[in-house]
Amino acid sequence: MSREQRGPNEKLGAVLALAGISNAGLARRVNDLGAQRGLTLRYDKTSVARWVSKGMVPQGAAPHLIAAAIGQKLGRPVPLHEIGLADADPAPEVGLAFPRDVGLAVKSATDLYRLDLAGRRAGSGGIWQSLAGSFAVSAYATPASRWLITPADSSVAREAGPAEGSGAPIKVGHSDVQKLREAAEDARRWDSKYGGGDWRSSMVPECLRVEAAPLLLGSYSDEVGRTLFGASAELTRLAGWMAFDTGQQEAAQRYYIQALRLARAAADVPLGGYVLASMSLQATYRGFGDEGVDLAQAALERNRGLATARTMSFFRLVEARAHARAGDGQAAGAALTAAEGWLERSRPGDNDPSWLGFYSYDRFAADAAECYRDLKAPRQVRRFTEQALSKPTEEFVRSHGLRLVVSAVAELESGNLDAACEQGVRAVEVAGRISSARTTEYVKDLLHRLEPYGDEPRVVELRERARPLLAPA
């Protein structure tokens, strides 16, 4: 379906020429992006010609898919107004802004929380299935730079008008904030144990909409407001991490941007660094190693002299992951050495933030193994993976599954097919107990690496065991 504008869409034509995309090429890109979101689209070069020459405006998610397709080619986000489609539904743009003003920051975050619920009510996979603004690492540039320049707002006190339907404003107190913190702690435990797709984990967006949003829109002093923004930032980052774990990269990016803005309002620099580290891990996972380095170093830069030793260790570890993905072995090794040094300096009595409770030497060893996997150093992978797997725990089930896959890859690259398949079988068993697209992707990667040995009975058995895990939902 399309509706007609007045005259040709010269803006779209000009940007297509700038990007060097033909009509057929744009149609193919839009159809492919739609397919990634479960949409069946059949645009062709004639469709694009109508958009350009006659000013036809495609309906639904198509305008945002067009912007995303062109943005991927240009390597930057492309707003709808730049391609003459500003009249399209603006909903998919929500969550990408990093406002300077605190009031606008509250609106940006609460709009995102409400958008997610609207998508869930609509069914068919929710709003994120049709979101067109596919992951663009360049969207992190403005949030990171603004956070580095000003990591804390001067005041966040707020006087709200009457609450909708009640006639009385919501007065926020410390007990309200404590409930959000408890919800975040519960969600962290469930996410680690059952994956980002577990039904209990999916309650985090609901908590943001039902609990956090009304509080953010209420009245509070500067002191209470800081703690409220901090708790909301933790929950929002968790929502992003869970979306990342389930493969919803667009949703994760928006949650992360809003979490960083809320952390700035909280004046919580370590928490802001943690959000930047999460952004870095996402960028690295998506193949943007250089940008991952920038985001991790942004986390480090503002936290010198502020964060605890264990927190700094984690930030350096994330930096190492990005260097390794970028193929810089020397920089990755230096960052790992620094991360281990910071970890050795940490003490039980340090005032570590609660959100860092997952981080121990086991986690350091697991990520170090992944660094060396990316650097194709199987002997180092085996050494660190053995340390990471030395203390299996039911508390971090997903992490255990990921470590088993990394171990299997190391065994395979060392020529130990039997050991690789054995670890692979264990990984598949763990992956079947959780809901984590990321873990499934790791298993797929292992099976791809095993394709040259496809006729081996052990490989055939592993593939059969993995079949239910890889079957479409």
User: What are the start and end residues of each CATH 1.25.40 domain in the chain?
Assistant: 366-473
Q: Which residue has the higher pLDDT, 405 or 191?
A: 405
- Structure tokens that stand for 362 in this block: 């086991």
* Per-residue model confidence (pLDDT) at position 372: 95
22-77 per-position pLDDT tens digit: 999 999 999 888 776 556 788 999 999 999 998 888 876 788 789 888 988 888 87
Q: Which CATH architecture has domain 2-89?
A: Orthogonal Bundle (1.10)
Rounded Cα distance, 330 and 344, in Å: 21
Which residues contact residue 214 at a Cβ distance below 8 angstroms, ignoring those fewer than 6 apart?
A: 163, 170
What does the pLDDT average to over 262-284? 98
Q: Which residue has the higher pLDDT, 326 or 79?
A: 326
DSSP string of 86-120, one letter each residue: TTS--GGGTT----SSHHHHHHHHHHHHHHHHHHH
- Structure tokens that stand for 148 in this block: 């580095």
Give the rounded percent of residues in the chain with a pLDDT score beyond 90. 60
Contact (CB, 8 A) for 82 and 72: no
Mean residue pLDDT of the chain comes to 87
pLDDT bucket at 171, cuts 50 / 70 / 90: very high
Tell me the torsion sign for CA atoms 5, 8, 11, 17: positive
- φ, ψ (nearest 5 deg) of residue 324: -65, -40
Range ranked top by mean pLDDT from 32-46, 64-78, 200-214, 272-286: 272-286
Rounded Cα distance, 93 and 75, in Å: 17
Q: Which residue has the higher pLDDT, 355 or 87?
A: 355
* Per-residue model confidence (pLDDT) at position 224: 97
| Helix 457-470 × helix 437-449 angle, to 10° | 150
pLDDT bucket at 158, cuts 50 / 70 / 90: very high
3-state secondary structure of 131: coil
Q: Give the range among 8-17, 19-28, 78-87 with minimum mean pLDDT.
A: 78-87
What does the pLDDT average to over 456-471? 90
* Burial of 159 per CB tally in 10 Å (0-12, 13-18, 19+): exposed
95-148 per-position pLDDT tens digit: 889 999 999 999 999 999 987 544 443 333 444 444 444 678 888 999 999 999
Rounded Cα distance, 73 and 71, in Å: 5
Q: Give the range among 84-98, 164-178, 356-370 with minimum mean pLDDT.
A: 84-98
pLDDT bucket at 384, cuts 50 / 70 / 90: very high
Range ranked top by mean pLDDT from 89-103, 164-178, 193-207, 398-412: 398-412
Other Cβ atoms within 10 Å of 357 Cβ, number: 13
Q: Which CATH architecture has domain 366-473?
A: Alpha Horseshoe (1.25)
User: What are the start and end residues of each CATH 1.10.260 domain in the chain?
Assistant: 2-89
* Per-residue model confidence (pLDDT) at position 3: 54
Q: Give the range among 85-89, 232-236, 386-390, 445-449 with minimum mean pLDDT.
A: 85-89
Rounded Cα distance, 376 and 327, in Å: 10
* Per-residue model confidence (pLDDT) at position 473: 53
3-state secondary structure of 457: helix
Q: Which residue has the higher pLDDT, 26 or 200?
A: 26
Rounded Cα distance, 241 and 228, in Å: 20
What does the pLDDT average to over 395-423? 88
pLDDT bucket at 5, cuts 50 / 70 / 90: low
pLDDT bucket at 162, cuts 50 / 70 / 90: low
Confidence check: pLDDT of 458 > 60: yes
* Per-residue model confidence (pLDDT) at position 59: 73
* Per-residue model confidence (pLDDT) at position 89: 54
Of 389, 394, 472, nearest to 437 by C-alpha is 472
* Per-residue model confidence (pLDDT) at position 121: 36
221-260 per-position pLDDT tens digit: 999 999 999 999 999 999 999 989 888 888 899 999 999 9
Q: Which residue has the higher pLDDT, 400 or 347?
A: 347
